[in-house]
Structures are given as structure tokens and as C-alpha cells.
Chain A
Amino acid sequence: MPLIIDRTLVAEDKWTTVAEDQAIPADGAIILPLAQWLEHHDALKGREVGVQVNGDDNLDQVLALNGQVELIVVDIPAFTDGRGFSIARLLRRAGYAGQLRAVGDVTRDRLAHLERCGFDAMLVPDDRFESETLNAFDEVSVRYQGGASVTRPAYPQS
């Protein structure tokens, strides 16, 4: 699946996603569901670990990942499920500076919003990706509100 990081298509992705019922591989960079991570994190000290969360997870546990992991993946089960936008804002506000990746129903017309809320990485399904998709970020350049990186609203500048 095409992975966009910082508005650029990247070829390599070192991370392997481990499903809930799957054994944890012995080496390599892994992405675990939140529950698995909570259960095994002591044993995983020193490994490259990312955690995948979703809108149903306990928000305090999600925010507590800040400082603990290198990658946080937010699963967006349907493009209409806007919880991921708020989760991203809260993680960035908490100071999380690692990669924040959106996966699931992640498609072109949401990419700019995702970026503004703090996602730097987006995994787009194969059948929904074209090279033109990368144009989505700058379609509307005016930002009335602050976002994750630029917090100042637009109107005082005008």
C-alpha cells in the first residue's frame, strides 16, 4: 500500500503490523495493538515498537504512549469517523513528536485535514492511490484555524 510521509511517497516501510491474535515476531520493528502493547511492553524494552490505536481505545492510555513508543498508528475504520482527527491533535498537544500514521479508510479528500491535525504519515489503500493524490495537500491554502503545527488562527494576520 502506498505510504505517504511528509507529503512524499516512500518506498520502504520497516514496520510490520502484528494482528491481535498473532504471535509477536522475534525481531524487527513491530506495530502492536494497544492491548498487546499494554500486556507485553516490559518484555519489549529496547525493541522498535509502534502501537496502533483507534477511537474506541481509552484516551488516557493512548495519550500515555507519548514518550514510550516511536510510532503511533491511528486506525480510521470509515472515512466518516472523525475521532482520529481529535486523537491526533491531543497526541501532538501532549508533546508526542514521533511518527503519527493514519491507516484504514484513508483517502485523498481527507489528507489535508489529517495533516493539519498532526498526522505526518498516511497509508492509502492501493486502489485509491494515484500520483495525483499528492496534490490534495494544497488545494485550499487558507487556514482560518490553528492546527497542530501552526496554532495561530488566520484572521488576526489579515
Chain B
Amino acid sequence: MYQYTEVDQKLVDERVEQYRDQTRRYLAGELPDEEFRALRLMNGLYIQRQAPMLRVAIPYGLMSSTQLRKMAEIARTYDRGYGHFTTRTNIQYNWPTLESVPDILAELAKVQMHAIQTSGNCIRNTTTDPYAGVIASELEDPRPWCEIIRQWSTLHPEFAYLPRKFKIAVTGGPEDRAASQVHDIGLHLVKNEQGEVGFEVLVGGGLGRTPVIGKQIRPFLEGRDLLSYLEAILRVYNLNGRRDNKYKARIKILVNAMGIDTFREQVEAEWAHIRESDLRLSQSEIDTVKAQFTPPAYEAPAADSALDAQLAENETFRIWYERNTVEHKVEGYRIVVVSLKPYLQAPGDITDIQMEAVADLADRFSFGEIRATHHQNLVLADVKQSDLLEVWKILDGNSLARPNIGTLTDMIVCPGFDFCSLANAKTLNIAEQINEKFEHVDYLHDIGDVRLNMSGCINACAHHHVGHIGILGVDKKGEDWYQFTLGGSSEADASLGKVLGKSIAADEVANTIEKILLAYIDLRESEAESFLDVVRRAGLNPFKEAVYAADH
């Protein structure tokens, strides 16, 4: 993975001291609240219902075991012994004090980490496929490009005060595990007719109050032109995006208001000025970054097939293997997904001890690297098949092996009312209710992939619009109610879910999901027809009947 140069290290060190001084000036009353707010947000610090919340950047979701141990140490020293992985593959701490944040940032800088631009109206952490570099269908590893974008976007002097936050996601092939179509910019590595690899560029996707799927602005962009093209898009947005209303300030609103064709014309006109500038990447620059992401030293597959015997002998292991591991492009290896969705715990939460356990596993069995996923889980990307049984045992001993990846209980859930001052409704109690209801339901496994996303308000932090089942908390006269949407997807076939009907009372949420799933089992033509396929084929009506029929 990418190792900091002296220059990179100097930047984060200086940034820590700069922020230390900003905090000092704020506490001394020299810096107005509103200005400090903008500055602390650009260092990942929110002030929330319970306490400040610090969001630390994990660039494109990739971290070393040393970094993960540092995160554990911070959780123990400055927080209450846990952290929370987010849908943007960052980690959040819910209980640090404002005064301690400069020290936390200094600790992070020691392991090449920071919290720069994890919040605020600037370019945020770029995200990508958690299976980058290890999945067979990929055209090219997207992470070198993410690193190039990270450097270009970090402390960019022109784009620190955009109309609104700005998120970029990159995918390396036809599959989309980064929700790229609901990002401000989505970049897809594609091949053109000449067989060259470059980017398809999407712009103007996003969720929140106005969910929009990104539109194609360019079918093919040469890799060397990546930064000039991004800069052109950002400049047009910075000059023209709305600043009078924060709910209309995202680039998606600008693109819709101008129309994609006019927007494209403006971007291309600006691009013509800068395409041949110093922003053009030379092949040697690209190669230098790519050289930091070379594959690890894989061993030739062992001749013994102990795995088959182990799977045959141990059913719990086999279920975990089938659900929580993924085919690796190198024979003899497997991608292991570490479930952060244990029974009755907040999705994405992880304790300091669990972090250390995962770091140890990474060192012993996966070349010392860990990835975070958009679905709030972790990944050990390079585990030898012969090590799987042992990895599973250790994960299981740390409550990290619940075999639920991709199933209903692998929910994306935002913190909701318990932690978030913007929430309309609680989410964590509903997640518990769902866990309790479905823990022992045996049909859950043959239901296959179901994506459930639940947000506590319209800001849509948990991407409810693109869940196969989306749940949105709403406040009705002081009570929590929940609106359901069906048929969303954040993958290559991205779509926005449609509202099922009137919202559901808090204690009926799990029962409603059950009705929906039973209706699906009834409707499907075979086990191969997934939940999403059925919703797309049959539409919402049969599900409406199943859920609301008794009311009539």
C-alpha cells in the first residue's frame, strides 16, 4: 500500500500544528464559533448530541495493521473503547473531547493518518471497491488513481469552500461495490474500442433529500487527463453551484438545473484551457504511484485439499465460508469479509480489542493489510485457503464471524437519534428488533442477498434509497414512524427505491419486513430469482397487499 514520502508526512505534521493553533485560538475566544466550525469540520470534528464526534480518514478504505492498532489505541485512550466504521469507509469516534482532538491527530500522524476533509464543504475521502486488486473481473486496480485523487484534493486551495461537500468514488471494473452512481463524481475504469483503459465519468449523483443517479458526462477519459477533468468539473461547480440554500447546493442540483448537456459544454470548455497544463499526469508519475500497489508475494497453492474436508466436517464453518468469503483472483486464496454486524450490536461498531484481533489476523494471514467496506464491514483480502479454518476460529472467538454478509442482518444503519442531532427517529433499537426477529429464522439463508439500509432522517446517511429494502425514520407528532422503500440498488444496476405506502409504527417494523420477505418467497419463480429481481418484475403492488391488506 501507499507509503508516505517525507513530503506527505510533513503535510500531516504541519496540519496537526495548524489545527492545534486553531483550537487554541477558539478556546481563547479569538476565533468566532462559525469560523471554527468550518475549520474543525475540515478536520473531521462534529459537535453531536452526546459529545463531539471525530471522523478519521481511511483513504479508499485501505489500512495497515499498524494503523488499525493505532485506531484501537485511540479508542481506548480518548474514547470509550470503540469506534464506528462508516459507509464512506472512514472510522468515527463518538466520545472524544474537543480539547483532545489535536493530540489524537498527532497520534494519527505518527502512522500516516489524518482527519483532513472528512467533513465540511470540500472534497471528501475518495472511496473504492473493497475487493480492489483481488477480484478477477476488474480491469485495473483503482487504488493508484484514488491515491492520485487523494493528493490532488488534499488542501486544494481553490476547492476548500465549495457550495457543499463533494464525494468521489472509483471502480475498477464492471461490478460496483462503491455506490459510485450516487456520488458527486463516479469514475469507472473502462476499455475503449482501441482497447485502452480509461475512465467513464459520471456526475451529479447523490442521496439526501433529493436522491439522484449520476449522469454520464464523458464516456471515455484518458487516465493522464484525470486531474484536469476533475478540476474542470470542480471549477464549474464552485463558480455556479447554489450557495443560497444548503439543500440545493450539491452538484446534482446544478446538473439538473443546467441540464447535463449544458453542464458538459461548460466543463469541456474549461477543460480545453487546462488539459495540456501541468495537471496532465506523465506516465512516470502514474507508474510511480502504481508501483506502491503491487500484488503481495502470493504462494503457489498447496497441493493438499484440506479445505474440502474441513468444510465437509464442520457445518458452521461451511456456512461462514459460503456467506463471508469471496473468490480471489489468485488460486489458493480467498477474500474474507469480517462481519461488523454481530447480533444485537450497532452495525459498524468495533471495540479496541476486536480491532487488535483483526490487526493480528492481518499480520499473520493477510500481508498486514485490512480494508473497510461501504457496507460497514472489514475485509482481509488475501487469506490462504489453508488458513481459513484458523482465521474463522479467531474471528468467531471475537464475535466477528456472524455468517450474514449480504443478508438481511448485514444492514447499513446510521446512528440515528441516539447519537445524531439531526435525527427524526431512532434506528439502533429498530436494528435490534430486526436482529431479534430474524436471528432464528431458518429461511433467511435461502432468501439470499437482501440489502437493508436504514436512515434516521432524510439526510440519508445510510443510503436508504438504494437499499433493496430502505427504511427512513420519520417523526409523527413526537413518535417514531418508519417509511419503507423497495427496489433500490447502489450497484452497477443502480436504482432508487419506490415508497411502499404510509409509514409503519416502530413496533411493527420487523413484522413488516417479514411480510415483505414472505411475499417475495411466494412470488419468486425459482430460488435463483433474487429479491431485487422480483421487486423489479412484479412491481410494488403485491408487496403493498401483503403489508397493508389487513388494514382495509
Contacts and interface: CB of A to CB of B under 8 A. Distances in A.
A140 B7 contact: no
Nearest to B282: A156
A107 interface: yes
A47 interface: no
A73 B159 CA distance: 20
A146 B152 CA distance: 9
A153 B157 contact: no
B35 A85 contact: no
B160 interface: yes
B139 interface: no
Interface string A138-150: 0111111111000
Contact of B161 (A81, A89, A157): A81
Given A83-B239, A153-B279, A144 B151 contact: yes
A149 to B, nearest CB: 11
Interface in B1-35: 5-8, 10-11, 14-15, 17-18, 21-22, 31, 35
Contacts of A143: 155
Given A145-B156, A155-B285, A82 B278 contact: no
B530 interface: no
Contact of A158 (B6, B154, B160): B6
A93 B273 contact: yes
B199 to A, nearest CB: 19
A22 interface: no
Nearest to B227: A153
A80 B161 contact: yes
Given A145-B152, A156-B285, A82 B160 contact: yes
A80 B249 CA distance: 13
Contact of A109 (B35, B152, B154): B35
Interface in A100-158: 107, 109-110, 112-114, 116-117, 139-147, 151-158
Nearest to A154: B7
A145 B155 CA distance: 8
A19 interface: no
Contacts of A85: 157-161, 238
- Looking at A109, A112, A147, A154, the one whose CB has the most chain B CB atoms below 10 A away is A109
A157 B163 CA distance: 32
A2 interface: no
B158 A80 contact: no
Contacts of B148: 155
Given A79-B35, A82-B238, A109-B35, A140 B151 contact: no
B158 A117 contact: yes
Contacts of A156: 282, 284-285, 288
B535 to A, nearest CB: 42
Contacts of A89: 158, 235
B15 A140 contact: yes
B157 A117 contact: yes
Interface string B158-174: 11111100000000000
A155 B156 CA distance: 14
Interface string A22-58: 0000000000000000000000000000000001000
Contacts of B121: 80, 82
B14 A141 contact: yes
A59 interface: yes
B111 interface: no
Contact of A140 (B18, B38, B282): B18
- Looking at A113, A145, A153, the one whose CB has the most chain B CB atoms below 10 A away is A145
Contacts of A61: none
Interface in B428-465: none
Interface residues of A, number: 37
Contacts of A154: 7, 151
B205 to A, nearest CB: 22
Contacts of A116: 157
Contacts of B285: 155-156
A86 interface: yes
A153 B280 CA distance: 10
Nearest to B36: A109
B243 interface: yes
Nearest to B274: A93
A146 B227 CA distance: 11
Nearest to A146: B278
Contact of A153 (B21, B161, B273, B278): B278
- Looking at A83, A107, A155, the one whose CB has the most chain B CB atoms below 10 A away is A155
B513 interface: no
Nearest to B25: A108
B294 interface: no
Given A55-B239, A154-B151, A156-B282, A82 B158 contact: yes
Contacts of A140: 11, 14-15, 18, 155
B519 interface: no
B39 interface: yes
B210 interface: no
Contacts of A107: 35
B305 interface: no
Nearest to B160: A113
B16 to A, nearest CB: 10
Interface string A51-77: 000010001000000000000000000
Q: Which 4 A-B pairs have the closest CB atoms?
A: A82-B161, A142-B11, A116-B157, A113-B157
Interface of B: 5-8, 10-11, 14-15, 17-18, 21-22, 31, 35, 38-39, 121, 148, 151-152, 154-163, 227, 235, 238-239, 243, 273, 277-279, 282, 284-285, 288-289
Given A80-B38, A113-B160, A155-B285, 11 more contacts: A59-B239, A81-B243, A82-B121, A86-B235, A109-B22, A109-B31, A113-B157, A139-B18, A140-B18, A141-B10, A141-B14
